[in-house]
């Protein structure tokens, strides 16, 4: 049976970069945030979001993700409501995806909130990607063209590195690309790939 390796880390830790290295090694990788974005566009999910959060987060019937982010990352209760809409749909989509990769010895399930969502319970092993806080903040400000305050809000809505590391099988510090790649190679050797 295909093993599921969870790949997680706080916002700005560089999970996507690490996921890309696994893809280059021909390991199937499921990027939960990307899939959640696609799923969020489905009429059923849009309808649920509209019922829960109202019309103010829509511009001409199109979901304004930035407005929604500001709401959910300011309120743990609202974030829970959004997650209750999206996570079951992502979970079902992932299960179908795994069936399409059943011949792979393992797949990577990349998710920022692997622990917070409870998805870690479905993983055989877990890899956590870490980076210094200031590095993470600068990466997200650059990538999302956002403010330090909004980045810190998102960081504070997630588990801390210490919490994630304590429940992980492997840790990759993603500061220097060469060192991070060497860590991935070590993990692949341990997994006999």
Q: Specify binding-site residues for ATP.
A: 12-17
For the annotated binding site, the residues are 12-17
Q: What is the DSSP string of the chain?
A: --EEEEEEE-TTS-HHHHHHHHHHTT--EEEHHHHHHHHHTSHHHHHHHHHHH-GGGEETTEE-HHHHHHHHTT-HHHHHHHHHHHHHHHHHHHHHHHHHTTTSSEEEEE-TTTTTTTGGGG-SEEEEEE--HHHHHHHHHHHHT--HHHHHHHHHTS--HHHHHHT-SEEEE-SSHHHHHHHHHHHHHHTT-
């Amino acid at each position: 049976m295909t093993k599921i390796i969870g790949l997680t880390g706080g916002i700005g830790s560089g999970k996507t970069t690490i996921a890309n290295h696994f893809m280059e090694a021909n390991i199937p990788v499921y990027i939960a945030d990307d899939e959640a974005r696609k799923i969020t566009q489905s009429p059923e999910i849009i309808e649920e979001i509209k019922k829960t959060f109202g019309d103010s987060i829509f511009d001409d019937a199109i979901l304004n993700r930035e407005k929604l982010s500001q709401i959910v990352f300011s309120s743990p209760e609202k974030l829970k409501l959004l997650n209750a809409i999206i996570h079951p749909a992502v979970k079902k989509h992932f299960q179908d995806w795994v069936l399409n990769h059943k011949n792979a010895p393992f797949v990577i399930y990349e998710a920022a909130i692997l622990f917070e969502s409870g998805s870690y319970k479905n993983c055989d092993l877990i890899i956590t990607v870490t980076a210094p806080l200031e590095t993470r903040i600068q990466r997200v400000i650059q990538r999302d063209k956002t403010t330090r305050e909004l980045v810190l809000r998102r960081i504070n809505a997630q588990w801390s590195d210490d919490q994630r590391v304590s429940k992980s099988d492997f840790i990759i510090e993603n500061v220097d690309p060469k060192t991070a790649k060497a860590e991935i190679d070590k993990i692949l050797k341990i997994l006999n790939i």
